[in-house]
Amino acid sequence: MAVKSLADLKKMSSEFKNTVSLRENGDNVDSLIQIKVAMATCGIASGAKEVMDFYLEELDKQGIKAVVTQTGCMGYCYAEPTIEVKLPGKDPIVFGHVNVEKASEILEKYIKNGELVEGIIPVNYETVK
């Protein structure tokens, strides 16, 4: 594994990038797309794990810088799996009944182009910071 030139080093650096990118993204979370997947018992039971895996893989594949985290139950158990998407500088939006297909639609339309899609759950409470 010898570095024979600067080009080698650069190539290696980008190969290894994903080992630390999760940490780097965590460091400047506010300027990135944040996706929170509700992963309480109800969420997991209705397939939140597949949705989370989908985002982890797809965002990486498409080279979109985003932070995917899991959170606890958001309270919309009737609409699980639910995800919250926060684009930089915008208010967070919660989507319900998100299966992998829906997740893909949200990614293509909302995350990439800012177009709203069906299935938004109006936020009915405020979070204490």
Which residues lie near another protein (CB under 8 A)?
A: 1-6, 8-10, 12-13, 16-23, 25-27, 29, 38-41, 52-53, 56-57, 60, 67-72
Q: How many C-beta atoms lie closer than 10 Å to residue 87's C-beta?
A: 16
Spatial distance between the Cα atoms of 60 and 107, rounded to a whole number of angstroms? 12
- Nearer to another protein among residue 12 and residue 117 (C-beta): 12
Shortest distance, CB of residue 119 to another protein, whole angstroms?
Answer: 21
Q: Is 3 or 123 the residue whose CB approaches another protein more closely?
A: 3
Nearer to another protein, 68 or 93 (CB): 68
> CB 57 → another protein: shortest distance, Å?
6
93-95 vs 120-121, strand pairing mode: antiparallel
Beta sheet of 120-121, edge-to-edge order: 66-71, 33-38, 83-86, 93-95, 120-121
The 8-class DSSP code of residue 31 comes to G
